[in-house]
């Protein structure tokens, strides 16, 4: 018999606040919020130990709608604020809600350093490839040629791919999902929650006001099967209506190629499942190839592209401090009297 | 070993306060100003700091001023690569590193070229003739050798081939010529130790610790030090032996301290007194980096240091730490302050405690990174968007940095507000003897987190201080959301209500103003509380103003000195103090920023006396200005 009182199982409702949600009707953020509120009760973390931190932008309103601790900070700086929060209290479960402009434009530097330090925070990047809150300018993930208010002749900027950026910054967990694909998104969120270190999740999110349909070419029912590759660790990289298309590594070019099972390849050899790459989420080179596949020649890779365990910044900082405390007493008087002194 | 030039034997000239009293053959001095100058690779800062330690141990009062170039290793022999270190020490109170030097040690022609103007006429000039090669003379812009052409006739010139003497002294250590050459600063130090009768033992200890892993280098430096000392004994220069008796100071245990170390220790003390861990977010910047270096050595006190990716991340990490219940601190200099502005506004809006230390340097932009200035006062006061009041404090001496750092933490945590502490390059790198305080005498900092969920909202205020509740993540039942959007006064929720915004702006301003009830009243440092002229200063000009006012009063002039350590809010009686004087003079190392504040706040005709040359005030400059105002 145990006297420990088990906390009541939390539900989705426990995570909702009394604030009216103020995103535009039809915004992909609603779906992300619903899925997050569905996953969080499963994690077994007390509400009081969760902190949502955000920067500026539509996505950054997120903390107001989560009945946890929340800090709506300034543009791009959420990872930097989180750095201090985790340094002060590494026990907190810290989640960041950010967007493509917040995370990759004004806050690109902080995200880079958060990833390489491996701060133990979960980063949800809502990528809608547009600036929404400032009413429709192109973003660092907008495609070349994008016509917006600030680029009436089309954007000349080369976009950045968030997942490849995260991999390049030595992120320890890099995943992708889609706002409306609840099952997949909740699976990815669970994985992110379980990861120790910076769990970077890019979520393709539709802005129905300023960039409606940005992801329809692979999100729609019509294209979903042919243009999405749902990666799973240890499973072959297969996709297509019949699940008969796969990715093969060309050892001469060190590049990927799409092959069809049972069909002859360019050299006339019939492709079998043995030829198809098996996803290994601990392989950074493979993750990079998957993140950078050109579309629509290749499908869009979704799921956990990369995950590795390595020490987190906050745990290392904490350990170092604890070692210092164990090695030397905290004697202020002794500090002030250290070195050369003289009595008058 | 020979001296290469005739040594005149006339007594040194001196001003009354820094001067020398002759008592041949071993002359007793009330004090002296010594400057070491050489190439930035010549080790002048080490020489200066070791000379300082020995002077402090000898019981003199002192003040130092290192003056070095921004380049780590500028091309050897050039004027812009000259590094200097000045020390003023005496048997009486010392407030500044001194104006002109009584003794100038120059290690090469460039050092002579750039420093001679600061040597008193008739002062002792020690020159390393070994570095006065044709090439070096040309680099320094000399057509002929000043050691030989008679142009230095107005000084007591002592030329020694320090390079050659050093090489001879360290020969047995087996070091290469190049390595041996690096020992010449210790040879020079040895000679200076002989001149002022200093004990070599602490420096020998220091060398042995510093070079523990390179015993041959340690040995060579000790050999050089001893050889320089022995040179004094054997060369016929015994008329240069001086003695500066101990200064009469308050009894106690003393140490020498620089402003950045004092700031760092003040933060450690504050963290201990508040019983709260401290997180420093910092990005390396001259002249603030030593605060980061020093704090990173003291993690046993529950100090975490984060070398952030930039100045913005540094302040944001500090804000995050404060939000999570630690003392968040960031330390920087002017360009870093400019970058932190938006985050400071966030701390104002979310009403979180935050300590921002700005160790000012010459600006604008990159400006003069290694030189001192006080031109960030208005930036500290107003450099944010919107109505964003913060508390602003200023330390007035290296040792005062310790107390003002504690004060910054006290006010920040008690009032839930950002506090900017201004110091500057002169305080940061300058040193003074400091009476070590008893920990039991330091102020208690009573910090409470909110834990009671009953009736809680995040912007509930203490009726006395107007501070909001500090409710940290992880506290059961106090979940809330805060941010940079305007908040409703009564619930803390986002509010766009026009009247509420005005109410919130006013309450944030009122909160800072109420600190005036909680800080000391303005005192008079020197002089009386009314009269013809009040000289009002702030920050590092303290020593120069105080000494200048003291000298003027000794001449019978009706002048007093007040030094403002609390710049926002200003002490509650400051207006009355100003009103009791006919005239107010405000010397500042900027173009008149405090005078602007005083004029606008108190409608007094404060006269600005600006200096903006990257250098501190000389006592004489302020003295002359006072005399000009009162004797004309």
**Cβ contacts of A51 on chain B, cutoff 8 Å:** 324, 473
Q: Using a CB-CB distance cutoff of 8 angstroms, which residues of chain B are in contact with residue A98?
A: none
By CA distance, what is A68's nearest residue in B? B479
Q: Please report residues of B whose CB lies closer than 8 A to that of A57.
A: none
* Model ipTM value: 0.97
Is B70's pLDDT higher than 90?
A: no
Q: To the nearest whole angstrom, how far is the Cα of B257 from the nearest Cα of chain A? A: 10
* Mean pLDDT, rounded, for B259-288: 98
User: Considering only CA atoms, which of B235, B240, B186 is closest in space to residue B50?
Assistant: B186
The reply to whether residue B324 touches residue A330, judged by beta carbons under 8 angstroms, is no
pLDDT at site B13: 36
Strand partners, A328: none
CB contacts, 8 Å: B255 with chain A: 336-337, 339-342
User: Which pair of tokens denotes residue A71?
Assistant: 């800090």
CA distance A55 to chain B (A): 9
Query: Cβ separation of B342 and A74 shorter than 8 Å?
Result: yes
Place of tokens 């779906």: A31
Length of chain B: 632
**Chain A residues within 8 A of B310 when measuring between CB atoms:** 109
Nearest-CB residue to B319 (from A68, A81, A320):
A81
In B, residues 182-221, which contact A (CB 8 Å cutoff)?
Answer: 202
Chain A CA closest to residue B54: A340
Give pLDDT, residue B32: 95
Say if the Cβ atoms of B313 and A49 lie within 8 Å: no
What is the per-residue pLDDT for A5? Answer: 53
Question: What is the model's pLDDT at position B250?
Answer: 87
Q: Tell me the C-alpha distance between B146 and B109, whole Å.
A: 8
Q: Which of B341, B442, B483 to mutate to test the interface with A (most CBs of A within 10 A)?
A: B483
> pLDDT at position B428, please?
96
- On the question of pLDDT at B471 being above 90, the answer is yes
Task: Please list, in sequence order, all residues whose beta carbon lies within 8 angstroms of the beta carbon of residue B29, skipping any fewer than 6 positions away.
Answer: B19, B20, B21, B91, B242, B243, B244
Q: Which of A91, A330, A340 sits opposite B57 (nearest CB)?
A: A340
Could you give the CA distance from residue A238 to residue A232 in angstroms, rounded to a whole number? 10
Q: Which contiguous run of DSSP H or E holds residue B406?
A: helix B400-415
pLDDT at B236: 77
Q: pLDDT band at B8, cuts 50/70/90?
A: very low
How far is Cα B353 from Cα B48, in angstroms, rounded to an integer?
39
Which residue in chain B has the smallest CA separation from A94? B473
With a cut of 60, say whether residue A187 has pLDDT above it: yes
CA B304 to chain centroid, in Å, comes to 24
- At A208-227, the pLDDT tens digits run 999 999 999 999 999 999 99
pLDDT tier at A4 (50, 70, 90 boundaries)? low
Distance to chain B for A180, nearest Cα, Å: 27
B505 SS3 class: helix
Q: What are B396-410's pLDDT values in tens digits?
A: 999 999 999 999 999
A window 111-170, beta carbon within 8 A of B: 112-113
3-state secondary structure of B461: strand
Mean pLDDT lowest among B67-76, B405-414, B500-509? B67-76
pLDDT band at B69 (very low <50, low <70, confident <90, very high): confident
* Helix or strand run (H / E) with residue A221: helix A221-227
| pLDDT over 70 percentage in chain A | 98
A77 in contact with B, Cβ within 8 Å: yes
Q: If residue B339 lies in a helix (H) or strand (E), which one and from where to where?
A: helix B334-350
Inter-chain touch A70–B475, beta carbons under 8 Å: no
Residues 287-326 of B with CB under 8 A from A: 298-304, 306, 308-310, 312-313, 316-326
What does the pLDDT read at residue B5?
35
Of residues B253, B309, B320, nearest to A81 (C-beta): B320
φ, ψ at B461 (rounded to 5°): -115, 150
Average pLDDT (B23-48) is 85
Q: Are A79 and A119 in contact (CB under 8 A)?
A: yes
* B323/A84 Cβ within 8 A: yes
With an 8 Å Cβ cutoff, are A73 and B279 in contact?
no
Contact between residue A98 and residue A60 where contact means Cβ atoms under 8 Å apart: yes
pLDDT tens across B202-232, in order? 999 999 999 999 999 999 999 999 999 999 9
Whether B449 and B274 have beta carbons less than 8 Å apart is answered as no
| Distance to chain A for B609, nearest Cα, Å | 37
| Mean pLDDT for all residues in chain A | 96
Q: In terms of DSSP bridges, do strands A228-230 and A255-260 run parallel, antiparallel, or are they unpaired?
A: unpaired
Query: Could A89 and B325 be called an inter-chain contact, meaning their C-beta atoms sit closer than 8 Å?
Result: yes
Q: Does A67 touch chain B (CB under 8 A)?
A: yes
Mode of pairing for the β-strands spanning A341-343 and B61-67: unpaired
Q: Is the pLDDT of residue B19 over 60?
A: no
Q: Is the pLDDT of residue B155 over 60?
A: yes
Residues of chain B contacting A62 with CB distance shorter than 8 Å: none
Q: Which tokens belong to A203?
A: 């979520």
Show residues of chain A in contact with B413, CB under 8 Å.
none
* Cα radius of gyration (chain A): 23
Predicted confidence band at B585 (pLDDT cuts at 50, 70, 90)? very high
Average pLDDT over residues B529-558: 97
pLDDT of residue B238: 76
The total number of residues written for chain A in this structure? 344
Hey, which residues 394-453 in chain B have their CB within 8 Å of chain A?
436-439
The whole-number pLDDT of residue B583 equals: 98
> Taking CB atoms and an 8 Å limit, are B56 and A321 in contact across chains?
no
Chain B interface test: which of A87, A112, A113, A341 (most B C-beta within 10 Å) = A87
CB contact under 8 A, A344 and B251: yes
- Find the residue in B nearest to A341 (Cα): B255
Give contacts of B485 with chain A, Cβ < 8 Å: 72
Note whether A8 contacts B: Cβ–Cβ < 8 A: no
Which residue, among B62, B267, B320, B491, would best test binding to A if mutated, counting the most A CBs under 10 Å from its CB? B320
Confidence (pLDDT) at B338? 98
Under an 8 A CB cutoff, do A324 and B437 touch? no
On chain A, the residues whose CB falls within 8 A of the CB of B495 are none
Express each pLDDT in A232-272 by its tens digit.
999 999 999 999 999 999 999 999 999 999 999 988 999 99
Q: How many CB pairs under 8 A join A and B?
A: 206
pLDDT score of B324 more than 90: yes
How far away is chain A from the Cα of B241, in angstroms, using its nearest Cα? Answer: 24
- Choose the closest CB to B254 out of A53, A82, A342: A342
Please name which of B45, B46, B49 lies closest in space to residue B57, comparing C-alpha atoms.
B49
pLDDT of residue B6: 33
Name the closest residue on chain A to residue B352, using Cα atoms. Answer: A71
How many angstroms away from the CA of A65 is the closest CA of chain B? 9
Chain A contact for B72 (CB, 8 A cutoff): no
Contact B306 A68 (CB under 8 A): no
Tell me the average pLDDT of chain B.
93
What pLDDT band is residue A7 in, cutting at 50, 70 and 90?
Answer: low
Q: What angle do CA A285, A288, A294 make, to 5 degrees?
A: 135
Q: Are B101 and B34 in contact (CB under 8 A)?
A: yes
A139 CA: distance to closest CA in chain B (Å): 22
For residue B18, pLDDT beyond 60: no
> Residue A341: its pLDDT value, please?
86
pLDDT of residue B261: 98
State whether residue A7 sits within 8 Å of chain B by CB: no
Distance (Å) from the C-alpha of residue B158 to the closest C-alpha of chain A? 32
| CA nearest to A100, candidates A243, A228, A214 | A214
pLDDT for the residue B11: 35
Of A302-306, B11-15, B536-540, the one with minimum mean pLDDT is B11-15
For residue B125, pLDDT over 60 is answered with yes
């Amino acid at each position: 018999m145990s006297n420990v009182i088990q906390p009541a199982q939390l539900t989705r409702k426990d995570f909702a606040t009394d604030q009216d949600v103020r995103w535009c009707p039809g915004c992909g953020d609603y779906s992300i919020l619903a899925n997050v509120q569905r996953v969080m009760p499963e994690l077994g973390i007390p509400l009081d130990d969760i902190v949502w931190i955000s920067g500026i932008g539509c996505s950054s309103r997120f903390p107001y709608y989560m009945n946890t601790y929340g800090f709506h900070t300034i543009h791009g700086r959420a990872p930097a604020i989180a750095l201090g929060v985790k340094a002060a209290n590494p026990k907190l479960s810290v989640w960041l809600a950010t967007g493509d402009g917040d995370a990759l434009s004004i806050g690109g530097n902080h995200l880079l350093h958060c990833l390489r330090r491996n701060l133990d925070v979960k980063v949800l990047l809502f990528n809608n490839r547009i600036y929404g809150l400032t009413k429709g300018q192109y973003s660092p993930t907008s495609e070349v040629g994008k016509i917006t208010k600030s680029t009436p002749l089309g954007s000349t900027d080369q976009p950045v791919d968030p997942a490849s950026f995260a991999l390049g910054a030595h992120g320890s967990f890099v995943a992708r999902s889609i706002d409306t694909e609840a099952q997949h998104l909740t699976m990815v969120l669970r994985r992110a929650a379980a990861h120790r270190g910076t769990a970077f999740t890019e979520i393709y999110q539709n802005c129905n006001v300023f960039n409606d349909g940005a992801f329809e070419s692979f999100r729609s029912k019509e294209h979903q099967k042919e243009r999405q590759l749902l990666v799973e660790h240890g499973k072959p990289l297969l996709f297509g209506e019949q699940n008969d298309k796969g990715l093969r590594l060309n050892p001469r070019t060190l590049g990927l190629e799409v092959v069809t099972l049972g069909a002859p390849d360019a050299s006339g050899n019939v492709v079998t499942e043995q030829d198809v790459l098996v996803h290994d989420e601990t392989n950074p080179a493979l993750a990079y190839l998957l993140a950078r596949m050109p579309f629509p020649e290749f499908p869009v890779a979704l799921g956990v592209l990369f995950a590795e365990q390595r020490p987190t910044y906050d745990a290392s900082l904490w350990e170092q401090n604890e070692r210092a405390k164990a090695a030397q007493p905290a004697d202020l008087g002794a500090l002030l009297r250290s070195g050369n002194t003289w009595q008058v | 070993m020979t001296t290469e030039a005739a040594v005149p034997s006339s007594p040194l000239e001196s001003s009354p306060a820094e001067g020398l009293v002759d008592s041949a053959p071993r002359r007793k001095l009330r004090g002296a100003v010594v400057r070491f100058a050489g190439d930035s690779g010549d080790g002048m800062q080490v020489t200066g700091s070791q000379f300082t330690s020995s002077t402090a141990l000898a019981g003199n009062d002192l003040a130092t001023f290192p003056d070095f170039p921004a380049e780590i290793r500028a091309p050897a022999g050039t004027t812009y690569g000259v590094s200097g270190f000045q020390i003023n020490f005496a048997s009486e109170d010392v407030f500044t590193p001194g104006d002109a030097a009584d003794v100038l040690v120059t290690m090469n022609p460039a050092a002579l070229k750039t420093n001679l103007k600061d040597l008193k006429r008739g002062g002792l000039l020690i020159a390393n003739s070994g570095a006065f090669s044709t090439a070096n003379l040309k680099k320094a812009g000399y057509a002929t050798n000043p050691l030989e052409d008679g142009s230095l006739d107005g000084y007591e010139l002592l030329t020694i081939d320090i390079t050659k003497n050093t090489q001879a002294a360290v020969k047995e250590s087996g070091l290469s010529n190049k390595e041996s050459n690096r020992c010449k600063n210790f040879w020079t130090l040895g000679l200076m130790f002989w001149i002022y009768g200093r004990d070599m033992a602490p420096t020998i200890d220091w060398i042995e610790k510093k070079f523990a892993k390179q015993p041959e280098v340690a040995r060579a430096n000790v050999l050089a030090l001893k050889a320089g000392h022995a040179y004094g004994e054997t060369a016929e220069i015994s008329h240069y032996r001086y003695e500066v008796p101990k200064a009469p100071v308050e009894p106690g245990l003393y140490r020498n301290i620089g402003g950045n170390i004092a700031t760092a220790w003040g933060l450690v003390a504050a963290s201990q007194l508040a019983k709260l861990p401290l997180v420093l977010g910092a990005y390396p910047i001259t002249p603030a980096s030593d605060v980061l270096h020093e704090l990173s050595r003291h993690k046993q006190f529950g100090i975490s240091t984060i070398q952030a990716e930039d100045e913005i991340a540094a302040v944001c990490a500090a804000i995050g730490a404060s939000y999570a219940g630690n003392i968040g601190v960031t330390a920087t200099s002017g360009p870093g302050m400019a970058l932190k502005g938006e985050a400071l506004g966030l701390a104002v809006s979310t009403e979180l405690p935050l300590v921002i230390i700005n160790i000012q340097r010459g600006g604008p932009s990159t400006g003069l990174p290694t030189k001192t200035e006080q031109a960030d006062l208005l930036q500290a006061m107003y450099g944010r968007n919107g109505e964003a009041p913060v508390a602003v404090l200023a330390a007035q001496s290296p040792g005062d940095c310790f107390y003002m750092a504690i004060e910054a933490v006290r006010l920040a945590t008690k009032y839930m507000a950002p506090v900017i502490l201004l110091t500057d390059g002169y305080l940061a790198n300058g040193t003074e003897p400091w009476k070590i305080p008893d920990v039991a005498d330091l102020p208690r900092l009573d910090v409470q987190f909110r834990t009671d969920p009953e009736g809680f909202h995040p912007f509930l205020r203490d009726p006395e201080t107007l501070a909001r509740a500090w409710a940290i993540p992880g506290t059961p039942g106090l979940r809330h959301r805060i941010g940079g959007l305007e908040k409703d006064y009564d619930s803390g929720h986002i509010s766009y209500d026009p009247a509420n915004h005005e109410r919130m702006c006013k309450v944030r301003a009122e909160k800072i103003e109420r600190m005036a009830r909680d800080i000391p009243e303005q005192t008079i440092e020197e002089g009386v509380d009314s009269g013809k002229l009040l000289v009002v200063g702030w920050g590092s000009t303290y020593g120069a103003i105080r000494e200048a006012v003291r000298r003027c009063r000794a001449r019978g002039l009706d002048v007093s000195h007040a030094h403002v350590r609390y710049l926002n809010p200003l002490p509650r009686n400051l207006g009355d103090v100003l009103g009791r004087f006919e005239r107010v003079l405000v010397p500042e190392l900027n173009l008149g920023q405090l005078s602007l504040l005083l004029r606008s706040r108190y409608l007094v005709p404060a006269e600005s006396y600006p200096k903006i040359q990257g250098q501190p005030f000389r006592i004489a400059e302020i003295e002359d200005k006072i005399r000009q105002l009162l004797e004309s």
